[in-house]
Structure 1
Amino acid sequence: MPEKSTMQEAVGSIFARLGKMRQCDDCPICGEPMYVFVNPETGKDRSMPACMACGHKEARKDAPTNESESINWQLKANKSDALGYMRNSSVITDPDVYNKKFNNFITRTKEQEEAKAVAKRVVDDMMTGETVHAIFTGPTGTGKSHLAMACLWEVLERSWFKQHVMFVDFRELLTKTKQGFHDDAAFKQYSQFVADEIQKADVVVIDDLGSEAGDDVGSYQSSQYNMDVATRIFQGRANKNTIVTTNRSGKELKKIYGSRVISRMSAHTQNHVMLFEGMPDHRLEGMKA
């Protein structure tokens, strides 16, 4: 019986013995055996069948077959990537923040309607390619964080999930970095996070800036470490879309972080500043009799 000694058979035999590939159906193009990669831990296939002789590869069963399906398939892939990035990169204290969108921001007053309109204008300008630094300032519980997150969702949807966004609770970020003072690995991770991810994302919300300064309004200056973190963030976001929420006035923020930080934060803010004044505290509405 003649001995087969093709290169494809030799390589396939080696992979089969190592358990990294397995032979499956014959190639519909040339008739030679096709192979699939196998996960050595689970034993499950981790690729589509491919022919080592002619290069033919079977298409994924869920691969698009026309232009419309191709668009939907790409959108699905973009969405999975963008949502994974947002959830893995954001620094939050309450996962419910991800549920905040424009369609569930309740407007009962003229001021609330104006705030929502400003937030939508922020997104409109971002989508034209303009660099936007938006500042939402006002008392706690008036909807600043809600509208800031709503802006992120709107950017994702209008960009077909091609942009990367993140929501960063500033106080929580400081807490986690300071916890790393006694954990070299954690400290290195968050230091790198501040230096890289916050600076690279297309749109970033810095939520509750100045909240770590306590309740002594106007009389507190931030620690050097807190000012360094704020400086690195706003220096890195100088020409990138950024939304800041705070219950501090500009004068108070300048005293807390210094003029340099506030100057960088305030660039590109024309028509993008909203004072949440005269609005009810949403967090107390459920407590009313």
Structure 2
Amino acid sequence: MAEMKGLESLLNIQTGITMELTSEVCDNHPLRGDKPIHLMVIDGEKVCPVCEGEKRTEELAKKQENLLKVADRKTSYNVFQKKSVLTDIGLLETSFKNYEAVESEEIANKDKAVEVFRRYKGGEVFNTWFVGKPGVGKSHLSMSILRNLNEWGNQDQSCLFVSVDEMLLRIRNSFNDKESKYTEFYFVDLLSQVDYLVLDDLGAETGGTGTAKRATDFTMRVLYAIANGRQNKPSIITSNLSLVDLESMYDAKLVSRLMRDTCLIRFQNTVDKRIRNINF
């Protein structure tokens, strides 16, 4: 006890905290090993040193858990910027606000895209297809949905935009470049894991509209693997092709899987928004 008194005095001098050991034993820790745990009076408050230590440990554990949650949210949020594969960086500036909707079809399809975002935000799981001629705004609206999902709420949902043609090109290039990270496994794993995915311009890899080509076995294998990995996750797909063209280009079973539980947004009368006359 005299030794403890000496320690108390030393701590009082070094920290300015007044401490005094009592004869009372902690109800939660009557014994630690073969010795009782006595309460202490620290700055006028009677506490158990073991209880205080456990409390501090719990507080530190919660703090560390919160830091890990923040790090996880940041990692998910950054997937969109760091891992998306775009061929048109102008898409990064798109939004619902700057989609020009004048004609009735444009207005209706924009409203449908906003509703898709609202339903995804509410936790619904379904696929969305934007189908129509080039330049009508399919990629614009799909990117607008994705960007809003990425910014929504706690920003803990991983979102990814991928040009199908560019993805397949990178995979093929990795066959002869052993240093490339863009392997088939990399993309299949990444696209299967993210919460929300846009597959942009499906069909362009075979030549697009008007071609009679069928997708290669390689393309089919990659798309099948992605479709299988996303059976319970929302996907947004854009294509210039009709359903008939898609089924002639790909296996009907693959098309069926990609179109399961689908909201179809079709452009039939909208003109190409990218063709503009520039007056000098």
- TM-score by length of structure 1 reads 0.69
Contact 2:77 2:156 in 1 (8 A): no
Match of 1:197 among 186, 190, 195: 190
Change (3 A) 1:219 1:197: same
Distance, in Å, in 1 between the alignment partners of 2:158 and 2:106 is 28
Superposed displacement of residue 267, structure 1: 0.7
Paired position in structure 2 for 1:140: 134
Structure 1 letter corresponding to 2:203: G
Paired position in structure 2 for 1:11: none
Paired position in structure 2 for 1:84: 78
Change (3 A) 1:243 1:200: same
Aligned pairs (5 A) from 1:126-205: 126-186=120-180, 189-205=182-198
Change (3 A) 1:74 1:248: same
Q: How many residues align?
A: 226
Pair 1:278-2:272 in alignment: no
Pair 1:125-2:116 in alignment: no
Structure 1 letter corresponding to 2:79: Y
Change (3 A) 1:83 1:253: same
Paired position in structure 2 for 1:104: 98
Change (3 A) 1:252 1:288: farther
Q: CA RMSD in A?
A: 3.1
Superposed displacement of residue 99, structure 1: 1.2
Change (3 A) 1:183 1:108: same
Distance, in Å, in 2 between the alignment partners of 1:157 and 1:90 is 15
Paired position in structure 1 for 2:224: 231
Superposed CA offset, 1:108-166 (max 9, x none)? 11111111111112112212221110000000000000000000112123333111100
Superposed CA offset, 1:40-97 (max 9, x none)? xxxxxxxxxxxxxx9x9xxxxxxxxxxxxxxxx9999787544421122111112221
Structure 1 residue ranges (4+ consecutive) displaced by more than 4 angstroms after TM superposition: 26-30, 73-80, 286-289
Change (3 A) 1:236 1:110: same
Paired position in structure 1 for 2:235: 242
Distance, in Å, in 2 between the alignment partners of 1:80 and 1:281 is 37
Contact 2:208 2:241 in 1 (8 A): no
> Larger Cα Rg: Structure 1 or Structure 2?
2
Structure 2 letter corresponding to 1:214: G
Change (3 A) 1:283 1:75: farther
Pair 1:220-2:213 in alignment: yes
Distance, in Å, in 2 between the alignment partners of 1:260 and 1:27 is 74
Residue 231 of structure 2 aligns to a residue in which SS? coil
- TM-score by length of structure 2 reads 0.72
Change (3 A) 1:154 1:78: farther
* Unaligned residue ranges in structure 1 (runs of 5+): 1-25, 31-53, 57-72
